[in-house]
Amino acid sequence: MRSIDVHSHLMPQSFWKVVNGGGEWHGIKTEAGTPGFTVTGGRRDPITSPKLRFTPEQRLQDMDAQKVDVQVVSVALPLVGYHLPPAQGLALAQEVNDEIAGMTRRWPQRFAGLATLPMQDMNLAVKELERAVQTLGLKGAELDTVVNGKNWDEPEFLPLFKAAEQMGALLFYHPQPNNNFVSRFINRYALGNSLGVIVEDTLVTAALIFGGVLDKCPDLKVCIAHGGGPACYGMGRLDRGWQVRPEARVNILHPPSTYQRRLYYDCITMSEPALRFLIDTVGADRVVLGSDWPYVGWDPSPVAWVQSLESLTQAEKDAILWQNLERLLGL
């Protein structure tokens, strides 16, 4: 049996080399402390795991301990540079993407990669996606759920969707754990992470559906982190809104629930009943393994958690653990 993890993060070695010397990496610096922080555009994000400093060799040892055969690596979200001037954002993205591509070339059986993109400039973003996929061999891109206050139903993002569709590139949506809709209203009890990220997952799912993106790009490959949040649970309300509110029908001809099986979702629900509901709603062929490495501590591992779930058949477990991503990413 194989295991392929779509949701594993990286703080690049190029970043640590600069900040360990006291410098700023594309305008991003660190503050000492326990656990320490990155400081990006005035925002402080905790560095919550020492594994964020791991070299690729240390990462491989940890993957072996977690029984993860392949990680699909993407940058830690506090390090995306959407707020930077376009040229600086492009330089950041290229440096990250080159490092991830280097890992995939050296260990092609253990790593695949997702690019980060300079989303503040659509032309640059499309060109960097093309370079990342066609030249570097990455499998797509990881994207924040919001771009400088803009949602993904804005028409300006359509060229990126068209380019990703044409290349067969996966777009993996992941929110900011400490800078999201919930954390701006109640920044206590760690709700920005435990609740805020899944609210953002739901909002980006709704934006992609109601914005007509999946009609305009019928072959687009999209995966939403954290099981898509409660979007699946709330789909009945979204369908009802589409039925009775004309503004909900301006871009789509069919109920929202008809589009939800067009998306993929990682399995990080932290609850067997929730994962079972997701599978029953969208199908086991649309759910993939995610770990959120290294931010989530699994005991003993994400693979073992999926294997332990009594309500899943072995065929469903195999689909989630490796078969779906092997097919989706051509691994």
For residue 77, the enclosing domain spans 4-9+52-329
Does residue 299 form part of some domain? yes
* Residue 37 belongs to some domain of the structure: no
Task: Kindly report whether the peptide bond that precedes residue 35 is cis, defined as omega within 30 degrees of 0.
Answer: yes
DSSP category for residue 323:
I
The pLDDT of residue 41 is 80
Determine the Cα–Cα distance for residues 109 and 67; give it in Å rounded to an integer. 14
Cα 172 versus chain centre, distance: 4
pLDDT of residue 182: 78
Number of domains in the chain: 1
Q: What is the pLDDT of residue 281?
A: 95
Beta strands 70-75 and 4-10, pairing class: parallel
Q: What is the pTM of this model?
A: 0.96
- Tell me the C-alpha distance between 11 and 224, whole Å: 21
Task: Give a yes or no: residue 16 inside a domain.
Answer: no
Contact status, residue 289 vs residue 322, Cβ threshold 8 Å: yes
**Residue 230 counted as domain residue:** yes
Query: The CATH number of the domain where 280 resides is what?
Result: 3.20.20.140
pLDDT of residue 188: 84
Q: What secondary structure letter does DSSP report for 189? A: T
Rounded Cα distance between 214 and 220, Å, is 7
| pLDDT < 70: residue spans in the chain | none
Residue 77 domain flag: yes
What pLDDT was estimated at residue 207?
97
Residue 233 burial class via C-beta count within 10 angstroms: exposed 0-12, middle 13-18, buried 19 and up: middle
Residue bearing tokens 């199908």: 283
Q: Is 236 inside any structural domain?
A: yes
* Alpha carbons 61 and 72: distance in angstroms, whole number: 16
Report how far residue 258's alpha carbon sits from residue 262's, in angstroms, rounded to the nearest whole number: 8
